[in-house]
Amino acid sequence: MMLKITYTAVLRTVLFSSMATLLFSCAEKDKKAYSNTSEIPAIQEMTAELTSPPYVPTPVGKRKAKKLIVDMEILEQEGEITNGVRYIYWTFGGTVPGSFIRTRVGDEVEFRLKNHPDNKLPHNIDLHAVTGPGGGAESSFVAPGREKVFSFKTLNPGLYVYHCATAPVGMHIANGMYGLILVEPEGGLPKVDKEYYIMQGDFYTKGANGQRGLQPFDMQKAVDEHADYVVFNGSVGALTGDKAITANVGETVRLFVGNGGPNLVSSFHVIGEIFDKVYVEGGDLINKNIQTTLIPAGGAAIVEFKVDVPGTLILVDHSIFRAFNKGALGMLKVEGEENKKIYSGEIREGIYLPEGPGIQTMPSTTEVAESEIPAKSMAEKMEFGKATYMQTCFACHLGEGQGIAEAFPPLANSDYLNDDVDRAIDIVLYGLTGEITVNGKNYNSVMTAQTLSDEEVANVLTYVYNSWGNSKKEVTPAMVKSRRNESIK
Amino acid sequence: MCPSLKMAFFLLSNIIVFTTSAQQNAMAGVKGGTYIPLYGIDSSTVTVTSFKMDVFPVTNKEFLNFVIKHPQWQRSNIKRLFSDGSYLANWEGDTSFGDLIQPNAPITNISWFAAKNYCECQGKRLPTVDEWEYAAMADETTADARRKESYNQKILDWYESPKTFKKEIGSTFKNYWGIYDLHGLVWEWTLDFNSVLISGESRKDVDKDSNLFCGSAAVGATDLMNYAAFMRYALRGSLKANYSMRNLGFRCVEPLNKNNKHLSR
C-alpha cells in the first residue's frame, strides 16, 4: 500500500514535471529570438490595410509575421494644389503621398502594382524597405493597363520612403509618386493615443505660386530647385481648417513624417511643442527633447510628443518662407482643459520704446503686377478673393477669420472692419502697427504692408466683407486705387 | 501574310465604310539625314534614309475596315500569341466599335502584331524607332526643334494631360514635314520598339555602357529634350509585342524608293 502511494506520487511528479517542461518549451519557442530577421517564418496570408493620409493602418501589435498582400493602384489624375490652381498628380493609390503601408519585421510582402489603363506612362516602385536591386523597381516596371507582382521580406525595422523610379525619375517624384512604408519591430511600436501620416513634397509649376488654372509641371524650375509650392500631404491646406489633425489634452501623438522631395530637405517643427522622442531618420536611434528635426528628401522620421495644453499647434517646415509663403503648414488642434501652470497665456502688457515709436515697413517694390485674369462677377471676386486670403491672410487671421486671441484681431463679425472701409483698404496697402480695439478687445501687434495689386486687394476685401457675418460691402479696384493716390498726395 | 485581294474585293462590295477619305490615307515625305538619338554621343549618330510617313495615325474607322477584311484580327479570332486580354477591349463587338468611340480618333488597344500586319496589308510597314524619332523631332517650322524650349514643354505637357486618345486625328499641330499628331494624341508602335534596353530601373540604365545611355549625358540631363525622349523610350521599354494599351496606336511608313524593301519583308 505504502509502496503504491509512493509510486503514484512519483508518477504524478514525473507527469507534472514533464508537463511543465512541455509548457515551458512551448513558451520558449514563442519567444525565440531570431538572430537573423530573414529566418522569421511567415505563416498565414493577410491582405494589408492601406490608408490615405493623414491616417495610418492599425498597429501590428503582437501579430506574427505573415505573408502580406499589398494591392496598389497607380492613378494619374487632376487635383487642386491650392485654391484655383489645378495640377495633374501621379499617385500611388489616388493620393499624395501614396497609401500608407504598415508591416512588421519578418513579413513576406507580396506587392501587386497595377497601372490604370487610362494612365499615359509606365511606372514602377522603389521601396526603401526592400533589400534587393532597385528596391523592387526592377521587378515592378509596369505599362498602363498591366499588373506586376513581386515579393520581398522585411528585414529591417524602421520607417521607409517608397517612390516611383521610372525615367525621368525626378519628374515622377515631383508629380507626387511617393509614400511611406512602416516596418514595425517584433511586438510593435509602443502604444500611443493618436497616430498620423504626414509627408512633405516640393512642386514646380509653369506659373508662379498662386497663378490660377491648370498648371503644368516645370522641368526647368525642378532642375534649378526653385519650388513654387512646398506642401504637406500634396496640397496647400491639406492639414488646415476642417482637415486639421486632432488630439485631446493629455494624449501622446505619434507622427510618421516623410519627405518625398524631390529636391528640398525639411526642417520639421511643430510650433508650440517639443518632441519628447524622435526616431532619428526613422531608424532605431531615439533622440529626446527635440525642437526641430531634419528630414532628408527620400527619408523619414517618427516624432512623438504628449500634448499638455489646448490650442492649435502649427506644423511647419522651419525653412520658414516655405511655411508661410509656399504652403508647408499644417495644424494639430488640441482640445481639453487649460493648464495655467504649463502655459499662462498673456499676463500683462506694457510699453517698451527704446528708440521711440516707428512704423515698421517691409521693403517693397512700388509696382505690383496686375492679376492676369480680372474677376468678372461677384462669384469670381469671392473665389479669387478667397484664394488670395488663403495665401496671404490665413496664417494670422485663420480660415474663418477668427484671428488668434491676444495676437491677431478677428475679421469675422468685426466692428473695426465694418466701421471704415477706407481704413481697411489702407491697412492692407500700408500695414498697421500699434494698439487697436476690435469687438471690445485690445490688440497691439504688427501687420506688414501687403504687396498685392489693386484687383487683388479689392477681391480679398470683398471676400472678407462678404464672409463671417460682416457688412457685405463690395470693394472695387477703383476704391483701392483712390486710396493709393490719396497717400501719394 | 495578307490574304488574297479577292477576299477584299468580295467584302468591298458589301461594306460602305470601306472607303476612307484620301486625306486619311495621305503620306508625307521625310527627307533623310543624320541625327543623334536620345542623349547619344557623337559616335552614335544615326543615318535615316528618306521615307514617306502616314500624315495621321490610323483611326478606329480604318482599323475597323481592316478587321472586317481580315477576320483573323477580330477580337474573338486573334491568336492568343498575338494579343493579351485587352486587345480591342473597348470595342462593342468584333466588327463594331460602338457609339462611345469616335470613328476619327486614333485606334488604340492593339498589339504590335496587329499594327505590323495592318501596315503590311497596305504595302507599308511600321516605322523604326529611328525613323519615328527623326520625323517627330520637327515642330511646325523646323526639322529638328529639340533644342527649343517651347517644343519640349509642349510635349511634356501632353505627357501629363489625361485621355488624349479620345481626340480626333489632326487635332494637334502639323509639323515641318506635313505630318500631324506625332505628339499630343497617343503613343505609337514602332517596328523595333524593344531594341532599346530599358530594364525598368532607369537609374541603373544610366550606368549601362551603351550608346543610348551614355552615363555622363544622362546624369547631367539638364536638357529638357532628354526628358521628353526619355519618357518615350521608357514607355517602349515597358512593352511587349502582345500588349495592347489604351494610349498606344500606330501609323505606317513606306520607303521612298519602293524597290528598297529590306525592312518591309
pLDDT at residue B215 greater than cutoff 80 = no
Q: Is A128 annotated as a binding residue?
A: yes
**Residue ranges of A 87-126 with Cβ closer than 8 A to chain B:** 88, 117-122, 124
| pLDDT in the model for residue A53 | 95
Average pLDDT in chain A: 87
- Candidate from A366-370, B25-29, B255-259 with smallest mean pLDDT: A366-370
pLDDT in tens, A247-283: 999 999 999 999 999 999 999 999 999 999 999 999 9
A88·B202 Cβ contact <8 A: no
A165·B202 Cβ contact <8 A: yes
pLDDT at residue A16 greater than cutoff 80 = no
Range A81-103 average pLDDT: 94
The verdict on pTM exceeding 0.80 is no
Residue B144 resides in a domain: yes
Residue B18 resides in a domain: no
Total domains in the fold of chain B? 1
Q: pLDDT tier at B220 (50, 70, 90 boundaries)?
A: very low
Q: pLDDT tier at B203 (50, 70, 90 boundaries)?
A: low
Q: pLDDT tier at A14 (50, 70, 90 boundaries)?
A: very low
| pLDDT in the model for residue B201 | 52
Residues on chain B touching A117 (C-beta within 8 angstroms): 86, 245-246
pLDDT at residue A25 greater than cutoff 60 = no
Q: pLDDT tier at A324 (50, 70, 90 boundaries)?
A: confident
Range A380-387 average pLDDT: 89
Alpha-carbon gap: A142 to the closest alpha carbon of chain B (Å): 6
ipTM of the complex: 0.72
pLDDT at residue A2 greater than cutoff 70 = no
Q: pLDDT tier at A399 (50, 70, 90 boundaries)?
A: confident
Q: pLDDT tier at B223 (50, 70, 90 boundaries)?
A: low
Residue B262 resides in a domain: no
Residue B7 resides in a domain: no
- Candidate from A262-276, B28-42, B54-68, B94-108 with smallest mean pLDDT: B28-42
Contact A177, A164 (CB under 8 A): yes
Residue B65 resides in a domain: yes
| pLDDT in the model for residue B84 | 86
Residue B6 resides in a domain: no
pLDDT in tens, B237-261: 888 999 999 999 999 999 886 554 4
pLDDT at residue A246 greater than cutoff 80 = yes
Q: Is A116 annotated as a binding residue?
A: no
CATH number of the domain bearing residue B45: 3.90.1580.10
Print the domain residue range for B161. Answer: 24-255
A76 CB within 8 Å of a chain B CB: yes
Residue B37 resides in a domain: yes
Range B213-233 average pLDDT: 55
Residue B93 resides in a domain: yes
Q: Is A318 annotated as a binding residue?
A: yes
Alpha-carbon gap: A162 to the closest alpha carbon of chain B (Å): 14
Residues on chain A touching B86 (C-beta within 8 angstroms): 117, 145
